[in-house]
Amino acid sequence: MSNPGTTEEDDDDVDYGDSHDFDNDDREDFADPGGRSALRAETESNPRNLPCPNCGTENVLTPADRAHGYQCDACADRAERGCD
Protein backbone atom coordinates (compact mmCIF):
# COMPACT_ATOMS: atom_id res chain seq x y z
CA MET A 1 0.00 0.00 0.00
CA SER A 2 1.44 3.35 -1.02
CA ASN A 3 1.48 6.44 1.14
CA PRO A 4 -0.90 9.19 0.04
CA GLY A 5 0.82 11.50 -2.41
CA THR A 6 3.42 8.96 -3.50
CA THR A 7 3.63 6.56 -6.38
CA GLU A 8 4.64 2.93 -6.31
CA GLU A 9 7.92 3.93 -7.95
CA ASP A 10 8.60 6.19 -4.94
CA ASP A 11 8.15 3.20 -2.62
CA ASP A 12 10.78 1.24 -4.56
CA ASP A 13 13.39 3.89 -3.76
CA VAL A 14 12.94 3.80 0.03
CA ASP A 15 16.21 3.40 1.92
CA TYR A 16 15.51 1.65 5.21
CA GLY A 17 19.10 1.97 6.41
CA ASP A 18 20.61 -0.39 8.95
CA SER A 19 17.55 -0.39 11.21
CA HIS A 20 15.75 -2.80 8.87
CA ASP A 21 17.63 -5.96 8.08
CA PHE A 22 16.29 -7.10 4.72
CA ASP A 23 19.07 -9.54 3.99
CA ASN A 24 16.77 -12.13 2.41
CA ASP A 25 17.05 -14.62 5.25
CA ASP A 26 15.62 -17.96 4.21
CA ARG A 27 13.83 -20.20 6.70
CA GLU A 28 16.69 -22.71 6.63
CA ASP A 29 19.01 -19.97 7.91
CA PHE A 30 17.28 -20.18 11.30
CA ALA A 31 17.89 -22.73 14.06
CA ASP A 32 14.13 -23.23 14.54
CA PRO A 33 12.40 -22.29 11.26
CA GLY A 34 8.83 -21.23 11.95
CA GLY A 35 9.45 -21.37 15.70
CA ARG A 36 9.91 -18.71 18.34
CA SER A 37 13.70 -18.38 18.13
CA ALA A 38 15.42 -15.78 15.96
CA LEU A 39 18.80 -17.49 16.35
CA ARG A 40 20.57 -18.58 13.20
CA ALA A 41 21.28 -22.20 12.33
CA GLU A 42 24.59 -23.68 13.32
CA THR A 43 26.74 -24.63 10.35
CA GLU A 44 30.41 -25.40 9.79
CA SER A 45 30.98 -21.77 8.83
CA ASN A 46 28.63 -20.44 11.53
CA PRO A 47 29.34 -22.50 14.67
CA ARG A 48 27.40 -22.06 17.91
CA ASN A 49 30.51 -21.13 19.88
CA LEU A 50 29.79 -17.74 21.49
CA PRO A 51 28.40 -16.84 24.91
CA CYS A 52 25.20 -14.89 25.54
CA PRO A 53 26.07 -11.22 26.17
CA ASN A 54 23.51 -11.06 29.00
CA CYS A 55 23.75 -14.24 31.05
CA GLY A 56 27.16 -15.49 29.87
CA THR A 57 25.95 -19.00 29.02
CA GLU A 58 28.64 -20.50 26.80
CA ASN A 59 28.15 -21.79 23.25
CA VAL A 60 24.60 -20.48 22.66
CA LEU A 61 25.19 -17.96 19.85
CA THR A 62 26.70 -18.13 16.40
CA PRO A 63 28.73 -15.35 14.79
CA ALA A 64 25.61 -14.49 12.73
CA ASP A 65 23.58 -14.17 15.96
CA ARG A 66 26.17 -11.83 17.43
CA ALA A 67 26.28 -9.77 14.22
CA HIS A 68 22.52 -9.27 14.57
CA GLY A 69 22.91 -8.25 18.23
CA TYR A 70 21.01 -11.25 19.60
CA GLN A 71 20.98 -12.82 23.03
CA CYS A 72 20.19 -16.43 23.95
CA ASP A 73 16.61 -17.68 23.74
CA ALA A 74 16.25 -17.88 27.54
CA CYS A 75 17.25 -14.21 27.96
CA ALA A 76 15.03 -13.16 25.05
CA ASP A 77 12.07 -15.00 26.57
CA ARG A 78 12.66 -13.37 29.98
CA ALA A 79 12.92 -9.91 28.39
CA GLU A 80 9.71 -10.43 26.40
CA ARG A 81 7.85 -11.50 29.56
CA GLY A 82 9.20 -8.49 31.45
CA CYS A 83 11.15 -10.63 33.88
CA ASP A 84 14.55 -9.18 33.07
Q: Tens of pLDDT along 38-65?
A: 899 999 999 999 999 999 999 999 999 9
**pLDDT at residue 13 greater than cutoff 90:** no
* Strand ranges, E, within the chain: none
SS3 43: strand
SS3 50: strand
**pLDDT at residue 30 greater than cutoff 60:** yes
Average per-residue pLDDT for the chain: 78
| Cα separation, 76 vs 84, whole angstroms | 9
